[in-house]
Structure 1
């Protein structure tokens, strides 16, 4: 009985080993196949590059009616970049980069494609996103700082300062410096 079990185990091991070796041999690609696939792949890549070169040299990109103009202005003093996006003006639809460059002489075109044109310029001074929130005649008033550093009234709010705590009144008398519209909105919400 023990002999039968040993013989069955040996036959089972031989059978499993044979199956594994056979599976490996069948699925192993030959060197000829690998070489021909590699050569074919290189050939296809070369053809693709030739087609791309031909395609890009013959087609001139023009703006589409759905194109967006993105204006990026970098301010050197405050180191902020303001971004303004607009739909393409009708007179610039179906124009090339050269045609648009002639119209926007003060701007450098950073990127140009059918759906988006990105313009860029640098300016001295600070951007229009610098505000000071102060008390003026009993109301919270928003001032902006112009390119010369002069405070000018942007808006007088309807928020009355008489009911605010003394700490807030003192801060508003000194002026609270704020950068950006989001920070301005958050500041005003604190006083409402």
Structure 2
């Protein structure tokens, strides 16, 4: 007698596979179609919920903004000597209490220098001037000399010498040459005239000198 073999349940396996594909397709389609807003927010490493932040909703920290702006490099525009800059040289002469000014245009080696650079240029070249005012249009430098101003060269100086009035001629180099020592004592003159003679009185000609002496001797 032959025993009847049981048939392998192919239909059942087919049905189960079909349901599995349908079920898997349903879930895949669901997660693809569902908008991101319905999904749970991601979790950060610290366990806190990570949320999206709109930068337009953040109120700016004014102190932080000021600090950042202050740290930005600032461009400083300094005045520099140009070809048309006027260089005014002022010299005060103590002997005659006179200031002489001379205005010149800059030489090539001065062009482009700022105030600090120009002062260094003067020092390096042994020019005993100090920068008094500095701009792109005009630079003023100043010095003091214990001498007679050139504008008094070849003139006469009436002054005091050993208590008496003396006459000097100022030559073309500014040196004083004694012409005459008068017998007129300054002690007999008013205090104001004594102070003038001690500082020195300049006259262009001898005629002007003798006219001054007549005023003091009368």
TM-score by length of 1: 0.43
Bigger strand fraction: 1
Larger-gyration structure (1/2): 2
In terms of fraction of residues, the more helix-rich structure is 1
